[in-house]
A = this chain, B = another copy of it.
């Protein structure tokens, strides 16, 4: 087998893995493949080029690139050289992406839950210690810890996070 073929196989394996991961993160397989193709591209690609590389329909590429751009997984460089052609490139710092997910989605979810729980708690009769009060208070405690953990983690790099946990072990 030639070196070029080996490279193509390795690349394809990783892209397939990205398709899989995309599904886990609630995205479509096409999103995983498009991101993967851009991840390995040496220069930004246009929509027609992505059609060529992935085999998906133009409309699919258009829709998926929009959501990927919105999430921050790829970057849109409008019009290289004044042309109409739009160029896309991948955000290759996976950790940045994960931090974004942590901040935009996980933190948001935790925050709204926490607020709901707090509002429910204040709805309860004062000084009550029934089952509801107890259970809701327990929920609030856990979510407060969670929120703090996520807020702190979102400011660290992967290496720093690793270091923080490794140091704590001792």
Q: Hey, which bits of chain A sit against chain B, CB under 8 A?
A: 3, 6-7, 9-11, 13-14, 16-17, 20-21, 24, 26, 39-40, 42, 92, 94-95, 98, 105, 109, 112-113, 116-117, 119-121, 123-125, 128, 130-132, 135-136, 138-139, 142-143, 145-146, 148-149, 152-153, 156, 158-169
Q: A95–B95 Cα gap in the complex (Å)?
A: 24
Would you call the interface of chain A mostly helix, strand, loop, or mixed?
helix
Give min CB distance, A138 to chain B, whole Å: 7
Contact in complex: B162, A145 (CB < 8 Å):
yes
Beyond A7-B132, A14-B139, A17-B113, is A145–B159 a contact (Cβ under 8 Å)? Answer: yes
Residue of B nearest to A130 (CB): B7
